[in-house]
Structure formats: C-alpha cells, structure tokens
C-alpha cells in the first residue's frame, strides 16, 4: 500500500468562495477547498499503480491526468480540507484495489441428479394428463 503522508505531500489545495446561501459572510470568506492531484507526475505511485488508477478513474481525471476534488460541506476551511483529504485517500484506495479472480465452481453430482429427477417427475405428471392412446 502507498504511504498516505507521502501522497498528501503531493497534493495542492486552493481555497475558493463557496456557492449557495449564507448572507454577507459567504461573499467574503473562501471556505470551499479544491484539491488537485497530478497522477502523471506522482513520485509516490509506481507505473503499474498509475496505470490502474488511470483506467479506474478515467471519468474523473482531466485531459492532463489531474484528479480534482472539491468540498464545501462545512463553513470551516480546515474542516473542508480534512474532508476532501479523507475523500481523496478513499478514492485512491478504491482505485488501487485489485479485484479477486473468480474461481469457477463445478456443480455437484447430487445437484445434477436432483435436477434430472425433478424434471423426470414433472414430465411424468404432464404425460399422465394426456388422454390414453387406445389403439
């Protein structure tokens, strides 16, 4: 796994004015945090990890392979910074997860026998509903 502190050191933050209601104060204070992480220039991640993240996060990356996350949930700039860092680390963690290889299982012989037996019973039940052939 990648060191979180090293990843956080590669992040760049920008404080922006938050949108929405809030009166006079919201127009003066920049409490919204915009996090940007340049995936291509990261020194912490290996080439394989970069490639995996690029594939998984392709819809969230810009053309220059920069991941941008924003947070304006709180009125506090520091709280928003903590929240966006948590979200970033979770996105990276999920992106680096290697899915387990599915191991195909074989149907047991008893299950096959049981299925064929029930099919036979059903076919006999339906055959018994027909009119008898008197010839």
Work out the pLDDT band at 133, boundaries 50, 70, 90: confident
Domain enclosing residue 75, as ranges: 4-96
**Average pLDDT, integer, range 15-25:** 73
119 belongs to a structural domain: no
Looking at every residue in the chain, the average pLDDT score rounds to 88
- Backbone phi and psi for residue 16, each to the nearest 5 degrees, phi listed first: -130, 155
pLDDT greater than 70 at residue 21 = no
Considering the entire predicted model, what is its pTM? 0.69
135 belongs to a structural domain: no
16 belongs to a structural domain: yes
49 belongs to a structural domain: yes
pLDDT greater than 70 at residue 20 = no
pLDDT greater than 90 at residue 18 = no
Cα 11–chain centre separation: 21
115 belongs to a structural domain: no
108 belongs to a structural domain: no
Indicate the number of domains in the chain. 1
What is residue 26's predicted lDDT score, i.e. its pLDDT?
A: 66
68 belongs to a structural domain: yes
User: Percent of the chain having pLDDT more than 70?
Assistant: 93
9 belongs to a structural domain: yes
Contact criterion met (CB below 8 Å) for 84 and 68: no
pLDDT greater than 90 at residue 131 = no
Cα 83–chain centre separation: 18
What is residue 22's predicted lDDT score, i.e. its pLDDT?
A: 65
> What tens digit of pLDDT does each residue of 85-130 get?
999 999 999 998 988 999 999 999 999 999 999 999 999 999 999 8
Q: Residue 11: give its domain's CATH number.
A: 3.30.160.20
Gap between the Cα atoms of 60 and 69, Å rounded: 9
SS3 assignment for the chain: CCCHHHHHHCCEEEEECCCCCCCHHHHHCCCEEEEEEECCCCCCCCHHHHHHHHHHCCCCECCCCEEEEEECCCCCHHHHHHHHHHHHHHHHHHHHCCCCCCCCCCCCHHHHHHHHHHHHHHHHHHHHHCCCCCC
**Average pLDDT, integer, range 35-51:** 89
């Amino acid at each position: 796994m990648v060191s979180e502190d090293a990843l956080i050191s590669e992040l760049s933050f920008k404080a922006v004015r938050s949108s929405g209601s809030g009166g006079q104060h919201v127009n003066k204070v920049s409490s919204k945090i915009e996090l940007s992480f340049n995936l291509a220039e990261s020194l912490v991640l290996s080439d394989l990890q970069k490639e995996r993240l690029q594939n998984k996060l392709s819809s969230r990356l810009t053309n220059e392979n920069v991941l941008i996350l924003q947070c304006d949930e709180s009125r506090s700039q520091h709280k928003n910074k903590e929240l966006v860092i948590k979200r970033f680390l979770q996105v990276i963690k999920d992106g680096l997860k290697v899915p387990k290889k599915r191991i195909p299982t074989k149907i047991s012989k008893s299950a096959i026998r049981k299925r064929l037996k029930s099919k036979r019973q059903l076919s006999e039940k339906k055959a018994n509903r027909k009119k008898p052939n008197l010839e």
